[in-house]
Amino acid sequence: MKIRNIIHFFLIMIGLILFCRCKLTNVFITVLISVAYKVEENLLLIVCLILFVVLCLHFRLILVKKSCDVPGPFAWPLVGHYWQLQRQPFEMARQLAQSYGPVLRLQFGSEAVVVLNNRDIIRRAFASRTFSDRPNWMSMKLQNETDGRFAFRPYGCHWRYLRKSTVDALTLLRNKSADHLQAYCQQALRQLFSNLDQLNGRPVDPAELLSRFFLHAVGKIAFGEQGVDVQDPDVEQIFFQSPPQIQQLSRIGNFVDCFPRLCWLYRNTIKLAKQVNRQFDQFVSAKVDQNEKNAHHLSNTQSISSLADALLLLTKQQQQSDQSQQHPAKYAIVDALGAGLATSTSTALWAVLMLAKLPDVQQKLKQELDLLNLTTDHDDDDHEPLLTMEHRPRLIYAEAFLNEVLRFGSVLPFAIPHATVSNATLDCHHIAQGVPVLGNLWAVHHDQTLFPDPMTFNPDRFIRPTDGTLNRQLLANVIPFSTGTRRCPGEFLARQNLFLLIINLTKRFQIQQPFSHFHRHNYDVTKFQFNFTRKPMPFQVRFIPWK
């Protein structure tokens, strides 16, 4: 009887605590108390356990609201919106924003995450230091364990130093070695075209071919003429044989990020990811060390020919080795070879797919290229001349096509996640320190007020019908490389390589869709794969030289 009285008192106290907070909960408590008189003590203990769980969940909800008073849809206790996040989280957030406003709260498990779905709000927030941190997620920690990247690193003086070094090096490379950058891309293009010629028009999945092209081009940009040997077995293993289960850890809304206390369930995958990251870091470190041994020629800015050269020269000039235990070149180059390769390859896949699916668009692009009236004379190496960046101002439709690919593909729909450095207020909403913040670039790129009929691929939207010039104001709304303090510093390199690839590939090859693949299997361009990047489902095309 004493036990029953104690439990009865415990139930009443819970009811009093929750009184006036939730009428339904109070009714629930009252019903359970009335039942408690008529049950055995064992069942009464079970009832107490249930009420204790309810109490914990209730106060957990209160804590979530205190950390973030942003509106959002109903979320299940503990799991939040986990199941919805496994589908198309960026499209789900875009649609929810129509009901809850452009600043939206989602639950990643029990953690509140703020999603920004408006262009102006994203720009205003990400331009502020307050929103420049990274979430304390396992997916972020894995990228920083080997000290190989700064793009995923938390905000602080070390990150500021690394980013400044990278931006300065890229600016130096762009101003002093523009010819080298273009020549590296042209070498990769010739190798790609040689591989395509050997196919003799047979259907092929272009994914690996494009990955090797970008690895070839970016490898030379990073390390100079030595580049990266794409035939090397170690390179093959690191870049082309990554275990598929690792890719799941980089997806927004993955299990480990939503339920960090259950990460032991994925301990083997996490261990494997750490091993792959170490191999990647060791590979880049060896390349940087090799560059450093041959850096005796770096006496001035005129002698640089790669990103590694630029970073080595800046380090010599600044003498800031006390700010980093390792050479800063390792951080920048790992980012270029890691995230940079993945995003560029995914974007190129969308470009090739749309050229194959929309022959009218391909023909219009080819006609613009033909108007350049290039000489048919071969160069000194007996190669057909390639289009260069000097032709870019005259290629209006090609520029529009590239930006439509970047908009339509949106390969990083949430960019790389941000977090608040300190307590913040955004559009009258309180957001506590450390709360993850996602910029929904997909929502910006599919905003009907900016891009009418956004689900239709239409490069002409960027061309003014009155005079045929580019609509620069509309182009400014295409932000696939994010914006603000965490904007990708290598955007100009990525855009240049993509532009040269698209115009030269279209100039040389007609890209056709195999009938059996696209029609018999009813290939749908709205379906995609989504891990670190959003890319098309596997497809095949034929590359046939123009007659």
Enumerate the known binding-site residues for heme. 488
Work out the average pLDDT over 374-403: 81
Contact 314, 169 (CB under 8 A): yes
Q: What is the pLDDT of residues 324-363, one digit of tens each?
A: 455 555 566 877 777 789 999 999 999 999 999 999 999 9
Q: What is the pLDDT of residues 399-431, one digit of tens each?
A: 999 999 999 999 999 999 999 999 999 988 999
Q: What is the Cα–Cα distance from 491 to 488, expressed in whole angstroms?
A: 6
Work out the average pLDDT over 435-457: 97
Instruction: Indicate the pLDDT class of residue 43, thresholds 50, 70 and 90.
Output: low
Question: What does the pLDDT read at residue 396?
Answer: 97
Q: What is the Cα–Cα distance from 299 to 310, expressed in whole angstroms?
A: 11
Work out the average pLDDT over 40-66: 56
Quick count: other Cβ atoms within 10 Å of Cβ 258? 23
Q: Two tokens at 184?
A: 């590296």
Residue 383's SS3 state is coil
For the ranges 48-57, 84-93, 370-379, 392-401, the lowest mean pLDDT is seen at 48-57
Helix axes 207-223, 178-199, angle to 10 degrees: 150
Q: Two tokens at 55?
A: 């109490």
| CATH architecture of the domain with range 138-545 | Orthogonal Bundle (1.10)
For 153, 274, 335, the CA distances from 251, given in Å and listed in that order, are 17, 16, 17
Q: What is the Cα–Cα distance from 419 to 133, expressed in whole angstroms?
A: 5
Work out the average pLDDT over 93-120: 95
Q: What is the CA radius of gyration of the chain?
A: 27
Q: Return the higher-pLDDT residue of 407 and 242.
A: 407
Q: Return the higher-pLDDT residue of 279 and 375.
A: 279
Site of tokens 């490898």:
219
For the ranges 31-45, 83-97, 387-401, the lowest mean pLDDT is seen at 31-45
Work out the average pLDDT over 300-304: 69
pLDDT above 60 (res 9)? no
Q: What is the Cα–Cα distance from 365 to 45, expressed in whole angstroms?
A: 74
Contact 277, 148 (CB under 8 A): yes
For the ranges 379-383, 439-443, 479-483, the lowest mean pLDDT is seen at 379-383
Question: What does the pLDDT read at residue 465?
Answer: 94
Work out the average pLDDT over 56-68: 54
Instruction: Show me where the domains of the chain are located.
Output: 138-545
Question: What does the pLDDT read at residue 284?
Answer: 85
Task: Name the percent of the chain in helix, strand, coil, to the closest 5.
Answer: 60, 10, 30
Q: With 0-12 CB in 10 A as exposed, 13-18 as middle and 19+ as buried, what is 519?
A: exposed
Question: What does the pLDDT read at residue 523?
Answer: 74
Q: Return the higher-pLDDT residue of 530 and 18.
A: 530
- Residue whose C-alpha is closest to residue 352's, from 195, 201, 501, 156: 501
Work out the average pLDDT over 535-543: 94
For the ranges 42-51, 168-177, 253-262, 489-498, the lowest mean pLDDT is seen at 42-51
* Residue 166 φ then ψ, to 5°: -70, -45
Sequence-distant (6+) residues with CB within 8 A of 32 are 11, 47, 50, 51
Question: What does the pLDDT read at residue 114?
Answer: 97
Question: What does the pLDDT read at residue 19?
Answer: 44
Question: What does the pLDDT read at residue 381?
Answer: 53
Q: What is the pLDDT of residues 11-26, one digit of tens each?
A: 555 554 544 444 444 4
Q: Return the higher-pLDDT residue of 32 and 279.
A: 279
**DSSP label of 505:** H
Q: What is the Cα–Cα distance from 143 to 154, expressed in whole angstroms?
A: 11
Site of tokens 């630029």:
310
Dihedral angle sign, alpha carbons of residues 465, 471, 473, 478: positive
Work out the average pLDDT over 75-82: 90
pLDDT above 50 (res 59)? no
For the ranges 71-75, 300-304, 366-370, the lowest mean pLDDT is seen at 300-304
Q: What is the pLDDT of residues 201-227, one digit of tens each?
A: 999 999 999 999 999 999 999 888 888
Enumerate the known binding-site residues. 488
Strand partners, 438: 115
Instruction: Indicate the pLDDT class of residue 90, thresholds 50, 70 and 90.
Output: very high
Q: With 0-12 CB in 10 A as exposed, 13-18 as middle and 19+ as buried, what is 445?
A: buried
Q: Two tokens at 3?
A: 């036990």
Contact 443, 450 (CB under 8 A): no
17 Ramachandran zone, left/alpha/beta (phi>0; psi -120 to 50): alpha
